Amino acid sequence: MLPPMAMWEKLLYFDRRIIFLIIAVAVLVPFLTGWMLPQGKITATTQHLFDAIEALPPRTPVMISFDYSPSSMPEIQPMALALAHHILSRNLRLVAVTLVVTGPQMADAAIMPVAEKLGKQEGVDWVNLGFKTGGAVLVTQMGEDIKRAYPADARGNSTQNLPVMAGVHNYDDIGLIIDLASSAAPGTWIVYAHDPYDIKLAAGVTGVMAADYYPFLQTGQMMGLLNGLKGAAEYEYLVGQTGFGLLGMSAQSVAHLLIILFVILGNIGYFTSGRHRRQQR
């Protein structure tokens, strides 16, 4: 049996491939088994968005702008799925738009499986208006007349004849706008939708972007914010739907805990071996 000192020193020569394997297994366990760590306290910005949707009367239109690309799906798509479930399960109308060319595909991927599960009908309970160029100009046009900005939806159906668009003329008829983005699109919605039309606005963004939008929460220009994968996990928890958000956060948390453990063990081995004293000479 190795003496205690030699045992700790052996950690300094531990095969890193074994460490990688341990972390890989730990990350896979939540996805393969459904095991999850307990959800912590829900952040106020997530709760505010959830409460705002809960307070809307039935059949109120909610607009989601799908302003992200496939590269951002791991963080933002779980938000989109959870939001679509919340909106449609509450018998609200979901109107999807986008300022980016990949948005229509992201909208269909999020809404279609939820609508099928809940028995909701396209054109009646939800619509994908698709992509149009213009950016800020398009956002301003919708503030004046949504059906003039979008004469037809992504399938070519006239918006004048869609039941889901009945009584929807401009932002005055929209209960809430949510921008799901991996770009600076929330800024466009703040400047050209919230400020001139005083529409309620929330956003869901990647984790590295979230800090840029907290000042807009403080000024009241945004009333809610989903922050990366954590925001997605919190929203899944609130709507009672386990998805990539909750499973991904569990996998991420386990990986972080293991990395911290390995760092602690490595430092114990380093200091108990006396190597730090030899290097100081």
pLDDT in tens, 252-279: 777 778 888 878 877 777 777 655 455 5
d(CA 147, CA 158): 9
Nearest to 227 by CA among 44, 90, 104, 93: 44
Question: What per-residue confidence (pLDDT) applies to 253?
Answer: 75
Is the per-residue pLDDT at 190 higher than 70? yes
Average pLDDT of span 140-153: 96
| pLDDT score of 21 | 86
- Cα–Cα distance, 20 to 26 (Å, whole number): 10
Helix (H) or strand (E) run with residue 272 in it: helix 244-272
What residues have CB less than 8 Å from 21, skipping those under 6 apart?
Answer: none
pTM, to two decimals: 0.83
Tell me what the mean pLDDT of segment 224-251 comes to.
Answer: 85
| Per-residue pLDDT at 4 | 55
In this prediction, residue 80 carries a pLDDT of: 96
- The pLDDT of 106-121, averaged and rounded, is 96
